[in-house]
Amino acid sequence: MISASDFRNGITIEKDGSVLEIVEFQHVKPGKGAAFVRTKLKDIINGGVTETTFRPTEKFPQARIDRKEYCYLYADGDLYTFMDNETYDQITLGKDIIGDGMKFVKENDIVKIQSYNNNPFAIEPPMFVELEVTETEPGFKGNTATGATKPAIVETGAQVNVPLFVNIGDKIKIDTRSGEYLSRV
């Protein structure tokens, strides 16, 4: 059990049959009245975010979220197949669970699958990936003074804004959390 006064970002709790992750919290001590904890909670199963206040003495069971590494094998329509590197067991997850998590992941990359009570609910791609640019417009010499960008398609099919000097065939490093270009490799 965890009390509301011990809330921190990233902690997961069970409340009313839902598993909620604390996105933001703030301990408030008004001049008049009792203190309270204002929180933003994200439902990890359906992704909805709610704002709720709690008394600091309220207690909730802490939810255990498992994160396990899997190797991404292949996609078959809207189904994605992964292999556990330790046991070689394969699991298949639908696009409804994956969401945009696979946008920058190519075959044989290692991802973390998050599960609650052995039910997978989300994919955590690597923080940074190196991908090859397959489509982009050519840049023009002398047009780089403003830090302008252009759209580029990488080998996984995702679109990224890149500087004008990036060409087809270049390998680039991308931050998967924000989808931003970081550097050429």
pLDDT of residue 101: 77
Correct CATH for 2-60 of 2.30.30.30, 3.20.10.10, 3.50.50.60, 1.10.1740.10: 2.30.30.30
pLDDT digits (tens, 9 = 90+) for 119-128: 888 888 888 9
Whether domain 128-184 has CATH 3.40.1390.10: the reply is no
Per-residue pLDDT tens digits for 18-40: 888 888 999 988 888 889 999 99
Average pLDDT along the chain = 86
| Residue ranges, CATH 2.40.50.140, the chain | 66-124, 128-184
Digit-coded pLDDT (tens) for 63-96: 888 889 999 999 888 888 999 988 999 999 888 8
Task: Map the chain to HEC letters.
Answer: CEEHHHCCCCCEEEECCEEEEEEEEEEECCCCCCCEEEEEEEECCCCCEEEEEECCCCEECECCCEEEEEEEEEEECCEEEEEECCCCCEEEEEHHHHCCCCCCCCCCCEEEEEEECCEEEEEECCCEEEEEEEEECCCCCCCCCCCCEEEEEECCCCEEEEECCCCCCCEEEEECCCCEEEEEC
Q: Which segments of the chain belong to CATH 2.30.30.30?
A: 2-60
The topology under which CATH files domain 66-124 is OB fold (Dihydrolipoamide Acetyltransferase, E2P) (2.40.50)
